[in-house]
A = this chain, B = another copy of it.
Amino acid sequence: MDIEKNIEGYVRHLGQQARRAARQMANTDSNTKNQALRHIADNIRSQALAILEANRRDLAAAAANGLAPAMIDRLTMTEKSIQQMATGIDQIAELADPIGEIQELRRRPSGIQVGRMRVPLGVVGIIYEARPNVTADAAALCMKTGNAAILRGGSEAIDSNRTLAGLIAKGLAAAGLPATAIQLVETTDRAAVGHLITMREYIDVIVPRGGKGLITRLLNEARIPMIQHLDGNCHVYLDDEADAAMAVKIVENAKTQRYGTCNTAESLLVARSRAADLLPAVAAMLLDNGVEIRGCAETRAIVKEALPASEEDYATEFLAPIIAVKVVAGLDEAIEHINRYSSHHTESIVTGNYDKALRFLREVDSSSVMVNASTRFADGFEYGLGAEIGISTDKIHARGPVGLEGLTSQKWIVLGTGQIRS
């Protein structure tokens, strides 16, 4: 097929192949899936040089096209990152297989026994940007959960992704599984994405991994459910009864450990009764770390280095050494502010008060809500999921860090001995 002349036909063809492969993957036992994963990890290790060469071609093209340094950074693979990729796949092979797990088989008054069995979703479409490691990672998670996947990586990484996809296909075939279980979209034409996100008959769910621009486009155009990840405008609230040392430690970790991650704190709220006491030490720590402080009038009265914060600052995911600070009357205003400005990703309260801790946990409407812990913990590995396909800021199907379970569904099973309904 001449892909470029018939993008829609090409994507449809991928979809049909994926649907067929998904049926076989759903009925594949754990050992065979794990064998395929280990073959892929081995292939990646033994072909590290070929992967690096392909990546160098992508990097050369990226440099020629004047790609932004941040993008080039995300595109770049190293010997070490390739080894980590292989190790990650071996680790997914080690995880318990969620498929087939039966939950709560309960006997009903009619005599039937009713429960739920965990099953794959079917075909997963993954749309992502520059990082080529997503190719291996997403493929492994979909295989483990008995799904088929269609991967659409960024055009900048096409050579790296093609090489990885070839090694994945080989690993699948070596275990006797259909190579079409994991397919890469081979064209960089953006029209392919448009078809991918509307072919409901072939794709069951879309997992977007990328910037806000990508997600917003997909949200508007998709006709397929998404496990979406929007931005992370996370908050730390220092309550009237916060421990001062803990407050500094948690704000430092939440804000300064990494600036570019979605679970990094972008806003700090401080209870009025403690502003004069807590803000000087917190601000000194932030300024020491080179963080720009944008504060409300009360904050600036205490922290002279603070710039004025605009309304928009409170709604911004800076992904940079900048923090918005606001003094609030207390818990009620903090919760109200968070539920209004947050992207509903992750929020943390620092408090020694039991009732306020409980109210914060209950009333803050975000995918992760914490007491006396850094927002940086919002992560599939830290939560013990063993893996992470993304962090959902949605409430439907999966919320917060999404592990293997998010790539599965549960069907009902009924065990009878001839019962009929009366």
Contact = CB atoms under 8 A, between A and B. Distances in A.
Contacts of A374: 416, 419-421
A243 B417 CA distance: 10
Nearest to A384: B108
Contacts of A420: 249-250, 252-254, 257, 373-374, 376
Interface string A382-422: 11100000000011110111000000011111111111110
Contact of A369 (B23, B373, B412): B412
A419 B373 contact: yes
Contacts of A249: 418, 420
A101 to B, nearest CB: 12
Contacts of A376: 420-421
Of residues A110, A348, A413, A421, which shows the largest number of chain B Cβ atoms within 10 Å of its Cβ? A421
A417 B374 CA distance: 10
Q: Per DSSP, are chain A's interface residues mostly helix, strand or loop, or mixed? A: mixed
Contacts of A23: 339, 365
A369 B413 contact: yes
A337 B236 CA distance: 55
Instruction: State how many copies of this chain the complex holds.
Output: 2
Given A368-B411, A421-B382, A397 B396 contact: yes
A415 B384 contact: no
A112 B225 contact: no
Nearest to A117: B361
Contacts of A368: 411-414
A80 interface: no
A223 interface: yes
Interface of A: 23, 26-27, 100, 106, 108, 110, 112, 114, 117, 119, 121-122, 200, 204-205, 219-220, 223, 225, 243, 246, 249-250, 252-254, 257, 339, 348, 361-363, 365-374, 376-378, 382-384, 394-397, 399-401, 409-421
